[in-house]
Amino acid sequence: MKSVVIGASGYTGAELLRILAFHPDIEVILAAASSHAGQPISELFPSLFPHYGDMVFSDADRLINDLEDGIEHADIAFLALPHGVSQAIVPRLYDKVGLIVDLSADFRLRDPEAYPIWYKAAHASPFYLKKAVYGLPELTRSQLKGARLIAVAGCYVTCSTLPLFPLLSAGLIERDSIIIDAASGVSGAGRSLKSSYLFSEVDENYSVYGLKNHRHTPEIEQNLGSKVLFTPHLLPTNRGILATTYSRPTTKFQRAIAAVSDPEMFGSDLILSELAKSYREESFVFATASPPSIKATLGSNNALVFGTYDQRTNTVITVSALDNLVKGASGQAVQCANIALGLPETTGLGLLGLYP
């Protein structure tokens, strides 16, 4: 199958190109980026030269405006664009390609009224918002099969949802007690030049941003069906997300541990066994016996989840990690595309991370 990557000069676009180079069933016939139109891909990303050779970036603006140059030959369109752009493109692309995979937040939220609140603008294509399938395979696999438009889940959202969703589903934690502290590498902010992302600002630093109003909050709440207090932080690393969550155990949980000699150990085992049971059939999500680190997921499409119980404060704690550019974005996009196209879910995706 032939694909186009629109917005290919950003970090997620580059990661898509890298992953698709290993995909046996999807060929990239066009990579578009307005700011680098006409420039060889390997000049901007030398690491991609062995596969893409002298292939140059097409003009994304021209491609979007006339939807002719290359689009008519494509089966799949991957959109790795800034928020707000895909809303205008998807309606014009929908009948030209068989599958659209959007990596932005433009079609993630089911309620169009949430966009003016969190993204400060009304949604431009509410009709297509209804057609979009949310792209988090571990939650929405059945809906993804045969999908035409996929809204790939956000990076923070994926890292936060994966450990919490099974515990909520099992009735082990209170629905409206959740606090999420998460930290991401700088690539999560995109490739744009902003003073807060300069080396001298980020190196040897650790900072909070989006306090009380980060745009991923409603997406997390949509997945979990509960209010959360979500606080993101910026790590002085290139890649990776680590999310630590805190929640209150339910009456059901407390009854289960009440009669045992070591409630903390039993409660911790109960939390971890629920995570292991929930993901034992999954190819990319693994419950770990100890808290994971971001380096353990580097370059892979894996997410690692861990959970424990602290008796002293009566708190359930989870820790999860993933690579924000792979399972948090481009790898997840390919995983979703594989499901939609009826391919084996792991096709083209690395199962092992890089170390050191």
The β-bridge partners of 135 are: 152
Rg (CA), the chain: 20
**Packing angle between helix 11-20 and helix 331-341, nearest 10 degrees?**
50
H/E segment holding residue 303: strand 303-310
How big is the chain, counted in residues? 356
| Catalytic (active site) residue 155 | yes
**Packing angle between helix 137-144 and helix 331-341, nearest 10 degrees?**
30
| Nearest residue to 323 via CA among 251, 197, 260, 237 | 237
The β-bridge partners of 102 are: 79, 151
The Cβ of residue 349 has, within 10 Å, a number of other Cβ atoms equal to 23
Given the residues 5, 90, 153, 155, the one annotated as active site:
155
Q: Provide the strand spans (E) within 255-339.
A: 285-287, 303-310, 315-322
- Please state, in angstroms and rounded to a whole number, the distance separating the CA atoms of residues 144 and 168: 23
Q: Which positions are catalytic?
A: 155
